A = this chain, B = another copy of it.
């Protein structure tokens, strides 16, 4: 069910001692080939962590043999020493696996501004390299080792025609577009060139992770990586592969949403009738980022006025006085006026559906978000301590 499900991959997840709690905190995922093609998308935040700076360079040639991921520290804004730690991590993996350091990616997640201990990382990588396995349990350990405030590991498996896609993900806060504090590793035994992987990954993330906007905050460390071993010997139809990869990414995105910090509602904001898909995304995102709307949903209050106040701030072409808003199937606003009574809406279930019909065109988009809760405030006011 994880990165070890496709043929050609081994993984390990260990407790290297980065987290003071003794929990699993370091994952190593290795592509044993025969092919080592790869692609990745990175945070669009200009404040980029050291592992992002490293990985961007390392993947430039489309060739990746292994990826090291640690929780317990973001290694961001830690200066040249921090970059040295990332470099040392890659070198340690390269040495243990007998590959080039330039073929090793590094991902880190945790608090910004704390220095990681290079020796602990190095020893952890060597220890993980000794425990590499293609077993399902090894992939599960890797999924657990990248967790921060996640309450459960996120994994996925999609079966293709003779090939598989497996994946793991972490991310429970700072989930926002242009990716979001999420680390995702996807593996496949399909045979694909790096350029095809890159196209498929960009298409898949555009409609999945990029549309998960839990709290509007964009991370410094986000990275979604796909590694292809070619071990199945099957060259897939690119459209079919992209579809399967999109399904895998949507599945993981839904798992991230379901485990978002402190959330009590998983909110699906569906925007229809926009002139363009970009307009629909902008409208959906304006709702997803409106604290007043999000607090209302927490309070089981179908406050559609806050939806209209939010979408009125966008530049998308539509007439606010033609808009319909439905919540969990009840149309509470029709043509910019009250429609069905608010008390017909049942917001008790965790799954919440908000439909915004703009009546301005034919385009649509769906944004996933969460409510704003006491627990969100609590978790994020206490994270550093």
Contact = CB atoms under 8 A, between A and B. Distances in A.
Interface stretch (A72-80, A201-209, A359-367): A72-80
A291 B77 contact: no
A305 B74 contact: yes
A114 to B, nearest CB: 8
A305 B384 CA distance: 10
A50 to B, nearest CB: 11
A272 interface: no
Contacts of A76: 305, 308-309
A215 B291 contact: yes
Task: Label chain A's interface by main secondary structure.
Answer: loop
Interface string A169-183: 000011000100000
Given A112-B309, A301-B385, A306-B112, A291 B79 contact: no
Nearest to A380: B295
A194 to B, nearest CB: 27
Contact of A215 (B292, B313, B381, B383): B292
B383 A377 contact: no
A114 B341 CA distance: 11
A: interface residue count bin: 35 or more
Given A47-B309, A301-B385, A380 B291 contact: yes
A289 B337 contact: no
Most buried by B among A299, A338, A380: A380
Given A312-B220, A376-B295, A338 B46 contact: no
B298 A381 contact: yes
A112 B301 CA distance: 13
Contacts of A342: 384
A373 interface: yes
A95 B244 CA distance: 69
A292 B337 contact: no
Contacts of A320: 46-48, 77
Nearest to A291: B215
Contacts of A34: none
